[in-house]
Structure 1
Amino acid sequence: MYINIKNGLENIETTKDILIPKDPLERVIGHEDIIQSVKIAAKQRRNLLLVGPPGIGKSLIAQAISFHLPKPSEEISAVHNPERPERPYVEIKTHKEITAEMLDLEKAEGELLDPQNVPDAVSERLGFKCVHCGNYNSAYESICPECGGDKFSHINARRKHLGDLLGMFEMSSGPVNIPQDRVTTTRINSGREEVVIYERIGGDRIKVLDQKALEKRRAIVEEKPMHVVVPLKRKFFIQATGASETELLGDVRHDPYGGHPDLGTQPYERVVPGAIHEAHEGVLFIDEVVHISHLQRFILSAMQDKVFPIVGRNPQSAGSSVKLENVPCDFILVGACNIADLKYILPPLRSRIQGEGYEILMNTTMPINEKNEAKLAQFVAQEIELDGKIPHATVDAVEVLIKEACKRAKIIDDKEDSFTLRLRDLGGVIRMAGDLAVIAQSNHINKNHMKLATKKAISIEDQIIQRYQTYENALQKDLSSSQRSVNPRQQYQNENVDRSYM
């Protein structure tokens, strides 16, 4: 039985007893005041800029927003333009229109019948009826299980006769016992003769395509050629962190035949959407948004116009002359960065976010109380479930991690009576404790595993300080004998390198 812990740990034995919320926003720890703004942003489709250090939940918040969005309602296709193939059209279909087309397609699929309900000759040629005893069985059995006769002997005899006439085309490997896939014949319907096709499909059914179904299928095939660029069924959350220009904005694939109508691939078939198009009606998340600073102006343009063209971006490619105009890209932008990087974000982009959304400074600590202790226990349970390879933790182990969260808040953020919210680092502690429990073949992570993990799961900088006391001592000790023998002037230059960034 799962327990929803809100006011302490007294009701649980291990983290397996903790109820993990279904709503991803309720899994975000320590940002209750921020979550309210995030829920409003999801409902009202507002852009967000989340500012704070790594590992405090920015990515989790961005992913959770998509949980509160309605399913996409539009499908985007590139349609062939016969007059100017390098300028295909954009076609947008709603869910209602797509559903109507699917119903029309089903009508063109024909009627499904049992083999006993079609003419005997058709059942025989499709392999369902034995020509010797008249029994019906699987079309994939060449020997009738009832009489032992060859069900396809009449077909093989016809093939052999043709082989005798054609001589050199006669098959030397013997008859091939495979039934026909389809039979085309005629029938009388309402006093008129019409063409009808019987198709053998998987299993023991036969599909019948009458004149109306054939005409409908022909009309669908002859419809304007198109290529679905952004399908109706797609992800709500698109992460474009570190994306290249092509990945973010789309491209047109190269065709060595230059889109030749007979040899090559037509331009509309080579259109590739970018992340801004795939995020249409959903969330476009860019962590460390300053790392794609040269693309920020394109993102701004897409946010302003809600459309952005897809063009070939390689001037040496046959796709460079292709352009698909006005491709929809109405997304919620969720950007994330550190405080130091704010100055590198394009001012007009920040203005757009401020005018149509919220800028949020993330919390780095939360107060010490029973409610937040329970939140940290929930975090431990979530990390264990997410990892999937480590056992659950005892209450004693959770209490060790809670003390570690308090210790880190004081050391890193200089906050007394607080818990740190740099939870990604604490997640590493949990995983190391879990691995220790697995190696020890323990059913649970106990307090000893967690204590050892808190000592070992530290950054390389802290490990250097523990071993060498200072970073400069570590550099000196790490030198080889040949490096120590460099001339004093060069050594002096090495020692005076600006390491303020370290």
Structure 2
Amino acid sequence: MYINMAKKYLDEIETTKDILIPKDPLDRVIGHEEVISFVRLAAKQKRNLLLVGPPGIGKSLIAQAISFHLSAPTEEIIVVHNPEHPERPFVEAKTSKEMEHEVINIEKAEGELLDPKNVPDGVAERLGFKCIHCGDYNSAYLSICPNCGGDKFSHINARRKHLGDLLGMFEMNSDQINIPQERITTTRITNGREEVVIYERVGGEEIKVLDQKALEKRRQIVEEKPRNIIVPLERKVFVQATGASETELLGDVRHDPYGGHPDLGTQPYERVVPGAIHEAHEGVLFIDEIVHISKLQRFILSAMQEKSFPIVGRNPQSAGSSVKVENVPCDFIFVGACNIVDLQYILPPLRSRIQGEGYEILMNTTMPDSEENENKIAQFTAQEIELDGKIPHATKGAVEELVKEARKRAKVIDDKKDAFTLRLRDLGGVVRMAGDLAVMDNSEYITKSHVHLATKKAISIEDQILKRYHTFENALQKDLSSSQRIMNPPKDYHNENVDRSYM
């Protein structure tokens, strides 16, 4: 029986194994209740978001959780060959209903399956299902009738032998000619009109009938323009584009060493590659640390405004440089994330677009010290353990020790008393180190002592340097060889006017 920590208290669990982990990813985000209410609204109303705050407080988790609340995609994006101007392929966005209709048409073109007893006798005989001697129905792959022992294909053999005598230059093997026909074309009267009909042998049990309508559908499918599905209907609705290059974000056209030659090369429509903005169509496009792709922000803005963006060849040396597909759909929810210091580097029109069609949200770094929030830290611990998958569950004492650490970090890092830290990525690192220590001890559970030791060990490299050397310049001096000290005097990380008399 799992315990819902939203309704129960930490005292009521024995280990994190008892804790119910919510199915909704948004319910797994702790300490941002007001933010989550806006996020749910953004998912429902298809609004854009800008999440601002330091690393490790749940921005990525929130962005990914939005996709959980979106409907499945309804459109498939297809690039279609343009026979008159191949370097300007067409684009189509087919809805799921249109695709269902297409499947029905294909099924119609596949014909109707019938039992051999339900087709004309002559057809059943020539396809090998009916014995010409006794009229028994059996497998088309049996040349001798199991009922009467007669040669089912003797009339066919006779005709083929006669043909061989006329040609006078082929020796026909009896083993080869005891094979039924695979397809028969004939005619039949339907509604008073004569129509062509084809009977095909399918396996050894059934016959496929292709009437005039099915044949016409097959002809239409064969004549359909060649196409390339670049964004399939079955796809993920969350696209992570953090740090993406121009090609990865906006798409490209692959190079063809034969220049798209109709006989030797690959046609332009086949070489079109979608970007993240197209793959996020009807979903979420998430870019963390958005300032790192500052030069591409204007393209994102254009895609958000127009709900479409062309795919062009981006390498001027490539055979695809002259290829362009106009108006490729890219209607997505944009979720950007950055630190406070980077706000100044976000393109003002992009921020204006987000403000006009969404929300800018400053994330919390702490949450109040309360019994309810202690429960949330317990839930967070259980979630991290399940997500890791390689460490054991934690005891109640271990969770209580982690609660103390969360309280301490809120005071030390954010100068907040009576609060818990929400810099949960670092706190998750403590959970994992404690879990690894438990594995080393062959312990069934993560205990209080494991968490206590992990809090001492799971510190940043900067803190480790200060703890060992007291100052960064001391660390640099100790770390350099004598020749390096002469050629590259160490610089203080924070003070350029440091005394260098020791040189």
* Paired residue secondary structure (1:358): strand
Structure showing greater Rg: 2
Secondary structure (helix, strand or coil) at the match of 1:260 reads coil
Call closer, same or farther: CA 1:407–1:99 in 2, change over 3 Å. Answer: same
1 CA distance for matches of 2:316 and 2:177? 54
Verify the 8 A CA contact 1:142 1:177 in the aligned structure 2. Answer: no
Distance 1:477 1:143 in 2: 94
Q: Which residue of 2 aligns with 1:186?
A: 186
The one-letter amino acid paired with 1:376 is: I
Q: How far apart, in 1, do the equivalents of 2:495 and 2:294 lie?
A: 26
Residue identity in the other structure for 2:490? N
Inter-CA distance 23–124: structure 2 relative to 1 (3 Å threshold)? farther
Query: For 2:493 and 2:380, how far apart are their aligned partners in 1?
Result: 42
Contact 1:251 / 1:312 at 8 angstroms: preserved in 2?
yes
- Evaluate the alpha carbon distance shift between residue 483 and residue 232 of structure 1 in structure 2; reply closer, same or farther with a 3 A threshold: same
8 A contact 1:122–1:183 mirrored in 2: no
Counterpart-to-counterpart distance in 1, 2:26 and 2:438: 30
2:5 maps to what in 1?
Answer: 5
Partner SS for 2:228:
strand
Distance 1:220 1:277 in 2: 27
Q: Secondary structure at the match of 2:320?
A: helix
Deviations 1:35-74 (A, max 9, x none): 1111111122211110111110000110111112222222
Counterpart-to-counterpart distance in 1, 2:356 and 2:409: 37
1:271 maps to what in 2? 272
- Partner Cα distance (1:455, 1:130) in 2: 87
Aligned residue for 1:200? Answer: 202
5+ residue gaps, structure 1: none
Q: Which residue of 2 aligns with 1:483?
A: 484
Count of residue pairs brought into register by the alignment: 488
Flag the 1:29–1:496 CA change in 2: closer, same or farther, 3 A: closer
Distance in 1 separating the partners of 2:397 and 2:177: 71
Distance 1:89 1:11, change over 3 A: same
3-state SS, counterpart of residue 321 of structure 2: helix
1:141-180 matched pairs, under 5 angstroms: 165=169
1:125 touches 1:179 (CA, 8 Å); kept in 2? no
The 3-state SS of whatever aligns with 1:385 is helix
Question: Hey, what's the Cα distance between the residues in 1 that align with 2:152 and 2:13?
Answer: 69
Contact 2:127 2:140 in 1 (8 A): no
Q: Deviations over 1:241-268 (max 9, x none)?
A: 0111011111111222222223222222
SS state at 1:320 partner: coil
2:99 aligned with 1:98: yes
CA deviation map 1:11-55 (0-9, x unaligned): 222212111111111111110011111111112221111011111
C-alpha root-mean-square deviation of aligned residues, in Å? 3.7
44-53 vs 442-451, greater mean Cα deviation: 442-451
Pairing of 1:174-253 with structure 2 (within 5 A): 182-186=182-186, 188-190=188-190, 192=194, 194-200=196-202, 207-253=208-254
Helix, strand or coil at the partner of 1:415: coil
Is residue 22 of structure 2 the alignment partner of residue 21 of structure 1?
yes
| 1:268-305 deviation per Cα after TM superposition (whole angstroms, max 9, x unaligned) | 22211111111112111000000001101111111122
The change in CA–CA distance for 1:400 and 1:197 in structure 2 (over 3 A counts) is farther
TM-score, normalization by structure 1? 0.85
Secondary structure at 1:319 match in 2: coil
Residue equivalent to 1:255: 256
Q: Output the TM-score relative to the length of structure 2.
A: 0.85
| 1:70-96, Cα deviation, whole Å (9 max, x unpaired) | 222222222222221111222222222
The question of whether the paired residues in 2 share the 8 Å contact of 1:254 and 1:318 is answered with yes
Matched, 1:369 2:373: no
Task: Give 2:328's aligned residue.
Answer: 327
The unaligned stretches of length 5 or more in structure 2 are: 497-503
CA distance, structure 1, for counterparts of residue 86 and residue 495 of structure 2: 57
Q: Check 1:196–1:337 CA distance in 2 against 1; reply closer, same or farther (3 A cut).
A: same
Q: Is the 8 A contact 2:472 2:493 kept in 1?
A: no
Give the structure 1 partner of residue 66 of structure 2.
Answer: 65
